[in-house]
Amino acid sequence: MANAPGNSSDFRSVMASVDAHGRRTWLHVHMIMGVWRLRRILLAVGLIGFYLVLPYLSVGGHPALLLDIPKRQFTVAGQVFWPQDFWYLLILILIFVVGTALLVALVGRFFCGWLCPHNVFLETVYRPLERLFEGAAVKRLNRARGKIGGSWRKVLTWTGFILVSALLAATATMIFTGPQAFSYGIILNVVEYPSAAIFYGISLGLILFNFAWFREQTCTIVCPYGRLQSVMLDPESLVVAYDVKRGEPRGKPGEVTGDCVDCELCINVCPTGIDIRNGNQMECIHCTACIDACNTVMIKLDRPINLIGFSSEAEMAGGKRRIVRPRTIIYTVVLAILVSVFAWRLAARTNIQTVVLSPDIQPVAITLDDKPVIRQWVKLSLINRTGDQRSATLHLPEALGCIITMQPTTIDLPPNKKVEVQAAIDVPVASFTAATCPTTLTVREANGDEHQVELDLRKP
């Protein structure tokens, strides 16, 4: 049973899942079906289904998501990204952070309770699986009929945990290797993919440890993201809240008291074991389980529902909640700017990315056709970002009078591959001036598309 109120009067400093001696209190969370839980299940089923089929999805003939670390290629939505595309990842992280800040300002810790993979799997798969084999109703039925004993129920529970964890670990591994590393989506080819086998084993162990034993401690102890969201709440944010004015003083049905009958059902269904009647707490993930539990009691007692419900501190104090306020405006503007920059960067993304590298050969002064020239070497890394075979040639402004010597003259670029080339550029001595030597090198494709990179011919 989850902690009851009074186990620790200092609930702001002591976690609900810890006893007075600092030892963990195991939470046996009850599950009550209600409107909010049904909504969470429907969303969770969609999220879990998407996760399981993600390795098999493709966009334009390319994986929807493949993080190929050995090849240093990340394929996202059919687009291949390389380490040189770090800016896209940075912008995406900023979009995620600012988007979460806006979400917290509007609807509290919605991400934690509804979207976080940890809580989605724990509350939709693992805890229901445990309750299926070890729940109170099952134990009473087995005692009455003399069926499966306690040890066998535990074996069945852990068998289910291992099978589910193996499936989740296989999906996680396929995101890095692709489905081809698995036969029928479950049997890993250890001989051809030894690194994947190690990753799979570690993933299986971590997933099993987290969901079978560590559980709510991931939210309350490990995860910094939940703590960050907690401090970003303001009086206008929607939170799961207990109506103190209506509920207090607590008492049994029939007594002249508030609506709260002190049944503690809201505590027993809480995945982190808190008493929501103590006010908003860091451990609260806004999963709404306590709302369903309390509403069930209120309906039985023929009292108004939502003694516990979604509200803001401003509304609980008798005021009105403002959706449009300085922080939501700032978050929205910053988010719009980041999304626009990301879209602009994607739209301006060229088929071939060119990076200037340090050449292997130093420049030399030679005479070419009785004219003194500086033979400079330029080393380039060209990445074909598409899934098609492409070719390119190099060009400098004609005004410089430079001659590019490279064999072969046309650079062949295989699909989604990187090619390094080194070209000799004979620069007339007269062109070595501050005005003309910092110039642009044009990389021109066979179909006429081209892009330019900055080049300083004076630098080795």
- Taking residues 301-315, what's their average pLDDT? 92
Measured in whole angstroms, how far is the alpha carbon of residue 146 from the centre of its chain? 46
CA separation for the pair 304, 405 (Å, rounded):
84
**For the segment 252-280, what is each residue's pLDDT rounded down to a tens digit?**
887 878 999 999 999 999 999 999 999 88
What residue type is assigned to position 79 of the chain? Answer: Q
**pLDDT over 90 at 382, yes or no:** yes
Window from 138-147, 227-236, 438-447 with minimum mean pLDDT = 138-147
CA separation for the pair 124, 115 (Å, rounded):
12
Helix axes 127-134, 136-145, angle to 10 degrees: 20
The per-residue pLDDT for 335 is 97
The per-residue pLDDT for 68 is 92
Q: How confident is the model at residue 171 (pLDDT cuts 50, 70, 90)?
A: very high
The model's pTM is: 0.84
**pLDDT over 90 at 370, yes or no:** no
List, in sequence order, every residue forming a beta bridge with 418; answer none if it has no partner: 383
HSE-CB at 293 with a 13 A cutoff on CA atoms is 23
The per-residue pLDDT for 403 is 84
The 8-class DSSP code of residue 21 comes to T
CA separation for the pair 189, 168 (Å, rounded):
17
The 8-class DSSP code of residue 56 comes to G
The per-residue pLDDT for 313 is 87
**pLDDT over 50 at 7, yes or no:** no
**For the segment 414-428, what is each residue's pLDDT rounded down to a tens digit?**
998 899 999 988 888
- Taking residues 376-394, what's their average pLDDT? 90
Q: Which two tokens stand for residue 396?
A: 């400098």
Q: How confident is the model at residue 344 (pLDDT cuts 50, 70, 90)?
A: very high
Window from 43-47, 332-336, 376-380 with minimum mean pLDDT = 376-380
The per-residue pLDDT for 3 is 41
The 8-class DSSP code of residue 255 comes to S
Angle at 434 between CA 431 and CA 435, to 5 degrees: 75
**What contacts 118, CB < 8 A, 6 or more positions away?**
210, 218, 219, 223
**pLDDT over 60 at 434, yes or no:** no
**For the segment 80-116, what is each residue's pLDDT rounded down to a tens digit?**
898 888 999 999 999 999 999 999 999 999 999 999 9
Average pLDDT taken over every residue of the chain: 87
- Closest by Cα among 29, 225, 1, 208 to 123: 29
Residue carrying the six token digits 């039925």: 141
The per-residue pLDDT for 257 is 86
**Category of 370 on φ-ψ map: left (φ > 0), alpha (ψ -120 to 50) or beta:** left
408: helix, strand or coil: coil
For the chain, list the domains and their CATH numbers: 35-81+116-232 (no CATH), 352-456 (2.60.40.10)
Q: How confident is the model at residue 2 (pLDDT cuts 50, 70, 90)?
A: very low
Q: How confident is the model at residue 4 (pLDDT cuts 50, 70, 90)?
A: very low
The per-residue pLDDT for 8 is 46
Share of the chain above pLDDT 90, in %: 53
